[in-house]
Amino acid sequence: MPHFYRAGLLWLTLLLLLGGIPVNPALGEDSSGAPSVLITGSNRGIGLEFVRQYAEEGWQVIATCRSPAKADALQAIAGQHANVRIEAMDIADADSVSDLAERLQDQPVDLLLNNAAYLGQPGEQQFPDIDFEVFERILAVNTMGTTRVSVAFREHVAASQQKKIVILGSAAGSIGQVSAAPNTYLPYRASKAGLHLIARNLSLALAEQGITVGLINPGLVDTRGVLDRKPGEPVPEEFVPIMPLIEKGLIELQRPADSVRDMRLQIARMSPESPGLFMNYDGREVPW
């Protein structure tokens, strides 16, 4: 081997031993220096995809869901990634939320990702035949549950480096975009509109602790596998009314991996100086 190669290798070895070559902290072997993310509703849909992508990037992922024992897809990801830890949390249950907040009291959370929500079926949310028990359940999960989690974990976030709380909102809850009576999914839409107000309030109330609050609309995301269904397979009930518009390309339906990749980019860019609060997955502002 020529002597300049030998010398180069020696320097490289020395630099590595002395830690002189910067290693991407998010990808480092020791995950203790990596940022942490706590995700609600992470056993399926968008939440599961957030777990997959943050795990692959080397974050410490605290993946919460109502029934860890039944969360097969999540267990499979945790089996492949030592940086994923699964915890039980039902966001509509005050004891469940406070138990986890207490158990994790020494754990800083760089990013609290409020993803969990209950959509319900369209038939029970159709004006004027609204099922008010369903309405209560939707408010209890989406509006109150998300608020409860944000309140319970705000000190964990304040104790972290990145200090971010992100809430998954919905364009369906944007009052500014209502041009005709939103007869269907009225309770779900109302739960999100209320949550948007709470997100704005949290962003103002928590600013003095250095916490950035973001509200993000994931777009219309194919969490039911509509795009990949085989010929003859039925369309899920909630997609039936909009299927003609999707097929004509008038409504864009995205795969979870694409929406989550774009949202992660927006989340990484969020800072206390970020203009606006309610944004689309692609960074455009969404009207309130």
Ligand X SMILES: NC(=O)c1ccc[n+]([C@@H]2O[C@H](COP(=O)([O-])OP(=O)(O)OC[C@H]3O[C@@H](n4cnc5c(N)ncnc54)[C@H](OP(=O)(O)O)[C@@H]3O)[C@@H](O)[C@H]2O)c1
Give me the residues that bind ligand X (CB under 6 A), please: 40-41, 43-47, 65-67, 90-92, 115-119, 141, 145, 168, 170, 217-218, 220-221, 223
| C-alpha to C-alpha distance for 164 and 231, rounded to whole angstroms | 43
Least distance from ligand X to the Cβ atom of residue 14, Å = 49
Closer residue to ligand X (CB): 111 or 220: 220
Smallest gap from Cβ 41 to ligand X, in A, equals: 3
Can you tell me whether residue 169 is helix, strand or coil? Answer: coil
| Per-residue b or e along 173-185, where b marks 16 or more CB atoms closer than 10 Å to that residue's CB | bbeeeeeeebeeb
* Minimum distance from residue 98 beta carbon to ligand X (Å): 14
Q: How far is the CB of 171 from ligand X (least distance, A)?
A: 7
The smaller minimum CB distance to ligand X, of residues 34 and 90, is found at 90
Judge if the upstream peptide bond of residue 128 is cis by omega within 30 degrees of 0: yes
Closer residue to ligand X, CB minimum distance, 139 or 220? 220
4-35 residues labelled b (16+ CB within 10 A) or e (exposed): eeeeeeeeeeeeeeeeeeeeeeeeeeebeebb
Name the CA dihedral angle for 82, 43, 140, 268, rounded to a multiple of 10 degrees: 60
Residue whose CB is less far from ligand X, 141 or 279: 141
Which position's Cβ is nearest ligand X? Answer: 45
Name which of 195, 219, 25, 187 is nearest 121 in CA terms: 187
| Residue with smaller CB distance to ligand X, 148 or 156 | 148
Between 162 and 191, CB nearer to ligand X: 191
The least CB distance from residue 137 to ligand X, in Å, is 9
What is the Cα–Cα distance from 10 to 16, expressed in whole angstroms? 10
* Cβ-contact 157, 165 below 8 angstroms: yes
Q: Shortest Cβ distance from residue 52 to ligand X (Å)?
A: 13
